Amino acid sequence: MSNNIEVFKHFGIAFLGILLISSINRIEELLSGVGYYCVVLWLSWQLTKLYQTFNTNVERVESDRKAILITGCDTGFGNLLAQQLDSKGFTVFASCLDPESKGAQDLLNTCSKRLKVLKLDVTKDEDVKEAVDFVRNNLQTNKLWSIVNNAGILHFLPVEWGREGVDIFKRQMDVNSMGQVRVTKAFLPLLRKTRNSRIVNVESLAGRIAMPGISSYAMSKFAVRAFSESLRNEVKQFDINVVVIEPSKSKGLQVIPHAIFSAAIAVFPKQSLIVENLKAAIISSEES
């Protein structure tokens, strides 16, 4: 009976996915420019939520003697993930841009003694080297089982705007893309010592669909996807898995969809009514 239920759930999700794909061409005919991308984004969010709701057949990973390094734990996903993994019994190395930040101090005050906070700016080679030494010296009887490349920044800016030339593009590539490369290269020797270890790279839907106003961010996330796919083929011989995560947003990051739509309206003022209606629909559905 349970197998039949699982088959039914997966069939239903697959069917909705097919409907979504078949409807995209029709949507593109009805809407132009940013309106089309906003609809696709909203539909993708809803399909992901549906899959997460019904996909309960998830294999649990034992936390015994497993250590995990997470970058970008000052706020957002990194901070929340550090809390969750600590509560599951993992040894967590929560790297923060500022170890004295409120988020870092909250982790120290609320999590177990297993969790350790360390300073790490993923754009600085010296910081990365010191992070490797810190983790190696504090593993004790644990093994480094995973790294989560979560650190990232997001700027909303049309290509022609701004007085900094291409500095914003360079900055986002350095943090979002090259930061993952630096951290991964540095920690690979430790990961090779652990059986069935994994590298988790946080990407974005922007790594698949480039939208107006976030060209520099989209470039950096497309690069993450290319890096991850190449890396996966290189390290599988060492029994290392490479996983790409595409989060949508969290309740603590409500500013992101608002900023996306603000940028879209600025770039496509004639479609402002369409964008506003889509924005209202997405926000209300997320709050319900």
CATH assignment at residue 243:
3.40.50.720
Tell me the pLDDT band of 221, cut-offs 50, 70 and 90: very high
Torsion, CA 24, CA 30, CA 36, CA 40, rounded to 10 = -30
Ranges 64-73, 226-235, 255-264: which has the least confidence: 255-264
In a shared domain, residues 186 and 243: yes
**Regarding predicted confidence, which is higher, 131 or 252?**
131
Position 261 in a domain: no
Position 254 in a domain: no
Q: Look up the domain containing 75 and give its range.
A: 66-247
Tell me the pLDDT band of 19, cut-offs 50, 70 and 90: low
- List, edge to edge, every strand of the sheet that includes 116-119: 116-119, 91-96, 66-70, 143-149, 197-202, 240-245
In a shared domain, residues 222 and 123: yes
Position 262 in a domain: no
In a shared domain, residues 96 and 225: yes
Instruction: Say if residues 118 and 94 touch (Cβ distance below 8 Å).
Output: yes
Single pTM value for the model: 0.72
The number of folded domains in the chain is: 2
Catalytically active residues, by annotation:
217
Task: Supply the pLDDT for residue 285.
Answer: 45
